[in-house]
Amino acid sequence: MALTVCFWGTRGNVMSVARERLIYGGHTTCLSVRHDHEMLIVDAGFGLANFLECLSTETPLSRGGHKFNLLLSHFHWDHIQGLSYFVPIYFPGNEIVIHSPFEREVVTEILNLLFDGSYSPFNGLDSLPCTWTFRKLEHGSEIGSFRVDFHETAHIGETYAFRLVTEAGSIVVATDHDASRTQINDSLVDWAQGCDMLIHSAMYTPREHQQLGGFGHSSFIEAVRNAERINAAHTLLTHHAPLRTDGELAEMEHNLQHMYNTDTRRLSFAKEGEIYIVR
Amino acid sequence: MMRYGGNTTSFRIDIDGIPPIFVDGGTGLYEEGIRLASQPGPLRIYMLVTHTHWDHILSYPLFEPFYRQDCEVTFFAPVSEKADFPRLIRGQHHDRTFPRSFNEITAHIEYRSFSGGEKFKLDGATISAFRLNHPGITIGWRIEHDERAVCIITDNAPVENNYLGEGMRERAAADPQAFEKEFNDSLTDFILGADLVIYDTHFDEAGIKNRRHWGHSTPQTATAFALEAGVRHLLLHHHAPEDTDFMVDRKLDEARSIAGEQNLVVEAAAEGMVLWL
Ligand SMILES: [Zn+2]
Ligand SMILES: [Zn+2]
Ligand SMILES: [Zn+2]
Ligand SMILES: [Zn+2]
């Protein structure tokens, strides 16, 4: 039973689709994790619209009867804005289950803002024909064959990393995290120990990180240091800066791989549309 | 979508001797903000807003010049009964949804509200506003300068038995047919003789079936209005997110075949495209 991850959006902050950013991708954060026939979606940036490409089309979405499990790490626009473009929400009989460590009231307040009549052609969550279900995650909650745990990250505003455990292996997802904030970071590193795959924020060069004062994301160097400490077999760096080109990313990726990769551990920059086998 | 582009609505109008006018704040605006932020000040910027749906405003909180003290901005934006425009801009900075608070904005920002029907002078240009048929309150803009005119008609849907946005149904209630005719005639007048019209062609004829209430038009409708109004150049715009380059090409073919030998140039808006009038 294989465990795989596919990225549908790898960009941070804002969508930046362009010819020179095709390889690593221009859509904001969204990824799916597949264990055998079960699927979890993590975050709902603009990449979510592309996620539908991976579904088999035996029953059309318009016919209803589809259920999607979505984990939300936090509510920054780049992690939720894709929901309005998620076709299943337009049809009755489809169910979107939103799992997060936040209280239900918080989730619905934000999603009602997203679907507010001033900002969208809808009139709040309830005006959409699909069914919304909200589940507050507890430590060790089970979603199908996944056991889910979470840990606070160092970001701006309350944000979480997820640990998804299956019998085939485990994944830690920390897309929005500033590893330079030692106290939370040390705790996160301890918590993430022993995962098979680590998905980690790496938005800035050390110089950019310094100039911006962090802004809730890690520099490449700090991300690599965390990868080393957590010692996952495969680390994927993501949340690429919006305007970083394929050429620039490929060069940095190459340099980091050169200093990091060994027989037992490797590192790559997440690419949109790419499937990664965890184990 | 590599030829036509995958970002949401945003473009810039440059007129000699007038500060740049940015129309809408879709994702394309972010890169422009980064470019402007590195320029020496002071900066003077005009922002025309068609309406406040996400795809038209989501880059405003990420627009770097707003975080500069030596930047002066005037927004020209629709007024809404439910929430005024400045409140909607502030709403994007909700502390759970965006890392920078609205209070960090140091640019001097002024807001002017429109509901359609207004006409005013802006430096040397003349600008008029027209209320479009789209959920919420949406303004079409006409910008005239030195005998040249550009019109922006997005987002807008055919009005026939389809009344969208605040108050439209009420306005149509007494005499729907008269209302539809009046709307179509005024829209034609509004874009009359324009050198360039940028028109919402989100759907094709198959796609708009059952979705007229989404508030978008087709190449057929756009071309019909452009021909009726004696427009010189029609730009198909607001391509659907699921459109491939091939599908936009097909919309373009359709519009061109309707225009036929008549005096109308039709193109499809592409990212990075620059048009001289
Ligand atoms: Zn993010
Ligand atoms: Zn974030
Ligand atoms: Zn709209
Ligand atoms: Zn739109």
Looking at residue B91, its pLDDT comes to 93
Residue ranges of chain A whose CB lies within 8 Å of a chain B CB: 13-19, 22, 26, 49, 74-77, 80-81, 84-85, 106, 110, 113-114, 116-121, 155-158, 215-216, 242-243
**pLDDT confidence of A28, banded at 50, 70, 90?**
very high
B251: in domain: yes
CATH code for position B229: 3.60.15.10
**pLDDT confidence of A135, banded at 50, 70, 90?**
very high
**Start-end of H helices in chain B:** 29-37, 54-57, 85-91, 168-173, 176-190, 219-228, 245-259
**pLDDT confidence of A74, banded at 50, 70, 90?**
very high
Q: What is the pLDDT of residues A14-26, one digit of tens each?
A: 988 888 999 999 9
| Burial class of residue A139 in the structure, from the number of CB atoms within 10 Å of its CB (0-12 exposed, 13-18 middle, 19+ buried) | exposed
Average pLDDT over every residue of A124-132: 96
CATH code for position A41: 3.60.15.10
Looking at residue B2, its pLDDT comes to 59
**pLDDT confidence of B82, banded at 50, 70, 90?**
low
Chain A residues within 8 A of B6 when measuring between CB atoms: 15, 17, 26
Q: Which ligand is nearest to the CA of B237?
A: 4
Please say whether the beta carbons of B112 and B74 come within 8 A: yes
**Measured distance CA(A271)–CA(A244) in Å, rounded:** 13
Looking at residue A52, its pLDDT comes to 84
Beta bridge mates, A105: none
Amino acid identity at B4: Y
Cα radius of gyration rounded to whole Å, chain B: 18
Chain B residue with minimum CA distance to A120: B53
Concatenated DSSP letters of B8-28: PS-EEE--TTS--EEE---TT
* Min distance B260 CA to chain A CA atoms (Å): 33
Name which of A76, A121, A216 is nearest B97 (Cβ-Cβ). A76
B274: in domain: no
Please say whether the beta carbons of B156 and B134 come within 8 A: yes
Angle between helices B245-259 and B219-228 (to 10 degrees): 30
ipTM value: 0.93
B234: in domain: yes
Chain B residues within 8 A of A85 when measuring between CB atoms: 241
Both tokens of residue B10?
């945003």
Number of neighbouring beta carbons within 10 Å of residue B261: 5
Residue ranges of chain B whose CB lies within 8 Å of a chain A CB: 1-2, 5-8, 27, 30-31, 34, 52-54, 57-59, 61-62, 80, 82-83, 88, 91-92, 94-99, 135-136, 214-215, 241-242, 271
B223: number of CA atoms within 13 Å, CB side? 23
Q: Is B205 helix (H, G, I), strand (E, B) or coil?
A: coil
Name which of B5, B96, B242 is nearest A157 (Cβ-Cβ). B96
* Min distance B271 CA to chain A CA atoms (Å): 9
Angle in degrees, CA B244, B247, B250, rounded to 5: 155
Chain A residue with minimum CA distance to B100: A156
Ligand 4 centroid–CA B155 distance in Å is: 6
Chain A residues within 8 A of B78 when measuring between CB atoms: none
Q: What is the pLDDT of residues A77-122, one digit of tens each?
A: 999 999 999 999 999 999 999 999 999 999 999 999 999 999 999 9
- pLDDT reading at A270 higher than 90: yes
Please say whether the beta carbons of A107 and A70 come within 8 A: no
Q: Is the dihedral of CA A255, A258, A259, A262 positive or negative?
A: positive
**Start-end of H helices in chain A:** 48-51, 77-80, 104-114, 182-192, 206-212, 220-230, 246-260
Contact A14 B58 (CB under 8 A): yes
Which residues form the domain of A60?
3-277
Number of domains in chain A: 1
Please say whether the beta carbons of A272 and A1 come within 8 A: no
What are the φ/ψ torsions at residue A136 (nearest 5 degrees)?
A: -85, 125
Q: Is the peptide bond before B95 cis (omega within 30 degrees of 0)?
A: no
- pLDDT reading at A66 higher than 90: yes
Average pLDDT over every residue of A139-156: 97
Q: In a mutagenesis test of the B interface, which of A8, A16, A17, A211 is the best target, namely the one with the most B β-carbons within 10 Å?
A: A17
Q: What does pTM read for this prediction? A: 0.94
Question: CA-based diameter of chain B, in Å?
Answer: 56
Both tokens of residue B221?
């409708």
**pLDDT confidence of A57, banded at 50, 70, 90?**
low
Q: What is the pLDDT of residues A184-201, one digit of tens each?
A: 999 999 999 999 999 999
Contact A76 B52 (CB under 8 A): no
B95: in domain: yes
Ligand 3 centroid–CA A38 distance in Å is: 35
* Min distance B83 CA to chain A CA atoms (Å): 8
Number of domains in chain B: 1
End-to-end CA distance of chain B: 26
B3: in domain: no
- CB pairs < 8 Å spanning A and B: 89
Chain A residues within 8 A of B98 when measuring between CB atoms: 76-77
Q: What is the pLDDT of residues B213-248, one digit of tens each?
A: 999 999 999 999 999 999 999 999 998 877 888 999
- pLDDT reading at B1 higher than 60: no
Q: In a mutagenesis test of the A interface, which of B24, B27, B211 is the best target, namely the one with the most A β-carbons within 10 Å?
A: B27
* Min distance A19 CA to chain B CA atoms (Å): 6
Name which of B27, B57, B92 is nearest A14 (Cβ-Cβ). B27
Name which of B27, B52, B241 is nearest A119 (Cβ-Cβ). B52
Name the strands in the sheet holding B233-237, side by side, starting at the edge strand that comes first in the sequence. B119-122, B125-131, B139-145, B148-153, B196-200, B233-237, B265-268
Looking at residue A213, its pLDDT comes to 80
Which residues form the domain of B226?
11-268
**pLDDT confidence of A12, banded at 50, 70, 90?**
very high
Contact A118 B215 (CB under 8 A): no
Ion ligand 4 neighbours (CB, 5 A) are: B 55, 155
B76: in domain: yes
B1: in domain: no
Amino acid identity at A109: E
Looking at residue B191, its pLDDT comes to 98
CA distances to A174, B21, B25, B271 from A19, rounded to whole Å, are 28, 26, 21, 11
Contact A77 B7 (CB under 8 A): no
